[in-house]
Amino acid sequence: MKIAIGSDHGGFKLKGEVIKHLKEKQIEVVDFGTYSEDSCDYPDVAEKVAEEVVMKNFEFGILICGTGIGISISANKVAGIRAALCCDTFSAHATREHNNANILALGERVVGVGLALDIVDTFLNAKFQGGRHQNRIDKISHIEDKYIK
Ligand code: RB5
């Protein structure tokens, strides 16, 4: 499994913890920035990671900002991205099972490191259930076709 990861300055410290955690589990992870705590713009990083995921260069993306909100909103503007902001483990497995989410978003200022790492593990270990859920995802794609120019 290959993971693309990125954050703004607000998610920089948690990004480091997630990278360390994934490497300890022998999961390949590529860091698309930001590379310091200097202020930067979360849409820039969201776009890079989202592109890598829709191009299928990586199975999943992980995006982190202060709240997880701005970076997930940004990633969801890329057609084919289903970025899910998760603050609990139930949402982390449900969004894989039902929404086939391909990016996990986290908020460094919202969740502690321990919970964040549990959310990451839960998200990566859960499987999409297909069936009626695929029909709903197809409807999301139709919305993209209609409104994303
Ligand atoms: C940066 O201060 C902060 O606005 C950003 O990390 C994020 O929380 C935006 O949604």
Q: pLDDT digit string (tens) for 89-113? A: 999 999 999 999 999 999 999 999 9
Q: How far is CA 73 from CA 36, 87, 121, in A?
A: 22, 15, 22
Report the length, in residues, of the chain.
Answer: 149
What percentage of the chain carries pLDDT values higher than 70? 100
Distance 70 CA to ligand 1 centre (A): 6
Residue 6 CA to chain centroid, in angstroms? Answer: 9
Which residue's CA is the nearest one to ligand 1's atom 5? 66
Q: Where does the pLDDT of residue 60 fall: very low under 50, low under 70, confident under 90, or very high at 90 and above?
A: very high
Closest approach atom of ligand 1 to CA 67:
8
Output the pLDDT for position 149: 73
Cβ atoms of 104 and 46 closer than 8 Å:
no
Q: How far is the CA of 66 from the centre of ligand 1 (A)?
A: 5
* Whole-number pLDDT of residue 54: 98
12: tokens are 């920089």
**Helix 113-125, helix 89-99: angle, nearest 10:** 20
Is 66 among the annotated ligand-binding positions? yes
Annotated binding residue at 70? yes
CA of 124 to the centre of ligand 1 (A): 24
What is the pLDDT confidence band of residue 58, given thresholds at 50, 70 and 90?
very high
Average pLDDT over residues 14-43: 98
Would you place residue 87 in the very low, low, confident or very high pLDDT band (cuts 50, 70, 90)? very high
Does the CA dihedral 64-5-61-126 come out positive or negative? Answer: negative
pTM score: 0.98
Superfamily (CATH) of domain 2-147: Sugar-phosphate isomerase, RpiB/LacA/LacB (3.40.1400.10)
62 pLDDT tier (thresholds 50, 70, 90): very high
Per-domain residue ranges of the chain: 2-147
* Torsion of the alpha carbons at 12, 18, 24 and 27, rounded to the nearest 10: -110
9 is in an annotated binding site: yes
Task: Provide mean pLDDT across the span 68-88.
Answer: 98
Catalytic residues: 65, 98
Average pLDDT, the chain: 97
Q: What is the pLDDT of residue 148?
A: 77
